[in-house]
Amino acid sequence: MPEGDTVFRAARRLHEALAGHPVARFDLRVPQVATVDLSGETVHAVVPRGKHILHRIGSWTLHSHLKMEGEWHVYRRGGRWRKPGYKVRAIVGTTEWDTVGFDLADIAVVPTEREGELVDHLGPDPLSKDWDLAEAARRVSADPREIHVALLEQRNVAGFGNEYANEILFVRGIRPTTPAPEVDAAALLDVGARMIRANRDRSGRTFTGDSRPGQSTWVYRREGRPCRRCGTQIIGGELGADPTRERIIFWCPVCQT
């Protein structure tokens, strides 16, 4: 699942390919915006916001969300795509590059002056220049739900997904079901911010410092295996804000109390 660091890297690649150039090809393959054409407009910037990507083109903003399976690829103009055409939801190209969005969700085009309507509900983003730890901690602490759920709530803090939530909680020694108001949210989020910033420029995400296959996580997807710290068997389960949003969770019953 794409998380904030994945989205950050995708936006950076898109920005490097498109920024400063006029659009030579613009094709949105979703019904609600299929007739929009920004060809000829200049791409000013492509920026991430949590798990959202914003293309600022002319006086407009193209918004997309990667959700569970979305990807943006960058190809030399006319290059062969690595995924099938039926999965394409958006193409933004220049005379030199084609950027192709596969399996994207929540695509919208709005005047740039109104892009806040799409992303202003999000909490502070640890990968943004204006990261506000105190405000993020305030929001998480005010959430009465389990801390794992509170960390995934993008209105509290933008960018953390399920893998990060599991790994952050292990490193801080907090069980996923602990009520959020009982947690030192500032310390928890400080660890999370340092984790996601460390992974921002890596091609392979790691939480342990070891990026080899099978060695990069403390607890995530390690149910039934020994804890890397104490040797106790890792436990797995499911938790969510409601039955339709349950996520898999993992924890060590000794290291996380």
Contact of 103 with 27, CB cutoff 8 Å: no
Catalytically annotated residues: 2-3, 51, 247
213 burial type by CB count under 10 A (0-12 exposed, 13-18 middle, 19+ buried)? exposed
**Is the pLDDT assigned to residue 32 strictly greater than 70?**
yes
Owner of token pair 């969510």 = 240
- What's the rounded Cα separation, in Å, for the pair 86 and 1? 21
- What's the rounded Cα separation, in Å, for the pair 133 and 192? 10
The candidate with the shortest Cα–Cα distance to 174, out of 130, 204, 218, is 218
Total length of the chain: 257
- What's the rounded Cα separation, in Å, for the pair 75 and 211? 27
Contact of 4 with 198, CB cutoff 8 Å: no
**Is the pLDDT assigned to residue 163 strictly greater than 80?**
yes
What are the structure tokens assigned to 242, written together? Answer: 């409601």
Q: What is the mean pLDDT of the chain?
A: 95
Residue 1: the pLDDT is 62
Q: Could you tell me which residues are beta bridge partners of residue 25?
A: 93
Give this prediction's pTM. Answer: 0.92
The candidate with the shortest Cα–Cα distance to 62, out of 88, 90, 102, 96, is 90
DSSP state of 233: B
Helix and strand counts by DSSP (H, E) for the chain: 6, 10
Digit-coded pLDDT (tens) for 112-161: 999 999 999 999 999 999 999 999 999 999 999 999 999 999 999 999 99
- What's the rounded Cα separation, in Å, for the pair 161 and 69? 13
